[in-house]
Amino acid sequence: MVKYNERALDATFHALADPTRRAILARLSLGQVSVGELAKPFEMSLPAVSKHLKVLEGAQLITRHRDGRVSRMEFNPDAMMGAVDWITHYKKFWESQLDKLARFLEDTKPTGEDNNGKNTKG
Amino acid sequence: MVKYNERALDATFHALADPTRRAILARLSLGQVSVGELAKPFEMSLPAVSKHLKVLEGAQLITRHRDGRVSRMEFNPDAMMGAVDWITHYKKFWESQLDKLARFLEDTKPTGEDNNGKNTKG
DNA sequence: ATTATATTTAACCAAATGGTTAAATATAAT
DNA sequence: ATTATATTTAACCATTTGGTTAAATATAAT
């Protein structure tokens, strides 16, 4: 009855447990950026950001597209799904909040209009 | 733009990033248990479990009900909602999976029917 | 009052984390 | 070929983490 990939959950939750890394994901969710561009707004060295990227990459929350000497980082939210999936197991314990979430999801469900022509994957 | 409580997210994700702590939550989701009972199945010392409980308590994922010398730990999933809320911000990046989740949530939405013990996932 | 039970705290340790600066690598431009 | 740019690796450091055992605390039972 091993339902979840514990190592993957470790990696995902650990990656998400740092504010810099969450900010990186937020930034990348707006579109691909180079490491240098990505690092600019952060008040830390480039190697520090590089390390964070490695953690995110290890958790498969981002992927790398090398283009010459520039590494363009891309958001890859699949691993987040795993986290949500795990948390959702506890849905019956927060039914009222769930109701709110369900309504929210229903509200924004892709019925053919919500997709802004963006490729959602690959 | 929605402002998230970064410190709370740090605490929540960090708490969830450990397999022992996730197992503790899984156990507590079945009902309140004392610290001793809780610790039994884990191959580690009681103080180690105690520390994990502190982390979970700090993240407000569990609460403590002291009854004499026995501490009954209770699952408190509200903080998880915060994590889901944050992740859900990225919903547009995984629409197909979102659709699956939305259907799942709809399917098990508490509309008066009791879906006790039925795990529709997996 | 003494003893047993439940749990936490203290002191300690190794490994991991998150940061630094300096050097190395790889590619691009001149 | 030389130099500039983008990024990573190496070496280092302080703090945190996750575990240990021994001692302390608090309550219950005899």
The alpha-helical segments, DSSP class H, found in B1-122 are 6-16, 19-29, 35-39, 46-58, 78-88, 95-107
Mean pLDDT of B34-58: 98
Q: Per-residue pLDDT tens for B68-104?
A: 999 999 999 888 989 988 998 886 676 655 555 555 5
**Number of Cα atoms under 13 Å in the Cβ half of residue A92:** 15
Per-residue confidence band for A120, with pLDDT thresholds at 50, 70 and 90: very low
Cβ-defined contact of A80 to B95 (cutoff 8 Å): no
CA distances from B16 to A7, B13, B52, B80, B96 (A): 12, 5, 11, 9, 25
Q: Is A113 helix (H, G, I), strand (E, B) or coil?
A: coil
A75-112 pLDDT, tens per residue? 998 889 899 889 988 866 766 555 555 555 556 555 54
CA of B65 to C1' of D1 (A): 75
Question: For B11, phi and psi rounded to 5 degrees?
Answer: -65, -45
CB contact under 8 A, B75 and A95: no
Q: Is A75–B93 a contact, with Cβ atoms under 8 angstroms apart? A: yes
Helix B46-58 with B6-16: angle, nearest 10 deg = 150
Contact between A44 and A68 under an 8 Å Cβ cutoff? The reply is: no
The pLDDT value given to residue B40 = 97
**Rounded-to-integer distance, Cα A79 and Cα B17, Å:** 13
Among 3.40.50.11540, 3.20.20.70, 3.40.50.300, 1.10.10.10, name the CATH number for the domain at B6-78: 1.10.10.10
Residue A116 has pLDDT above 60, yes or no: no
Distance from CA of B20 to the nearest CA of A (A): 10
Q: Kindly report which amino acid residue has its CA closest to the C1' atom of nucleotide C19.
A: A48
Predicted pLDDT of residue B97: 54
Q: How many CB pairs under 8 A join A and B?
A: 136
Q: Which helix (H) or strand (E) holds A46?
A: helix A46-58
For position A88, what pLDDT does the model report? 85
Tell me the backbone φ, ψ of residue B49, rounded to 5 degrees.
-65, -40
In the structure, how far is the CA atom of residue A68 from the C1' atom of nucleotide C26, in angstroms? 9
pLDDT average, residue stretch A69-73 = 97
What is the model's pLDDT at position B114? 42
pLDDT number for residue A22: 98
Confidence of residue A113 (pLDDT cuts 50, 70, 90): very low
Predicted confidence at residue A58, as pLDDT, reads: 97
- The owner of tokens 């509309």 is B111
- Please, which positions of strand D sit below 7 A from a protein CB? 5-11, 17-22, 26-28
The per-residue pLDDT for range A34-44, each reduced to its tens digit, is 999 999 999 99
Residue B112 has pLDDT above 50, yes or no: no
Q: Is the CB of B70 under 7 A from strand C?
A: yes
Residue B79's pLDDT is 87
- Strand D closer than 7 Å to the CB of A122? no
| pLDDT for res B77 | 87
Regarding the domain delimited by A1-110, which CATH topology (the fold level of the hierarchy) does it fall under? Arc Repressor Mutant, subunit A (1.10.10)
Over residues A9-63, the pLDDT tens digits come to 999 999 999 999 999 999 999 999 999 999 999 999 999 999 999 999 999 999 9
Question: Which residues in chain A touch residue B91, judged by CB atoms under 8 angstroms apart?
Answer: 105, 108
Point out the residue among B10, B94, B102 whose CB comes nearest to the CB of A106.
Answer: B102
Mean pLDDT of chain B: 83
> Who among A80, A92, A95 is closest to B90 (CB)?
A80
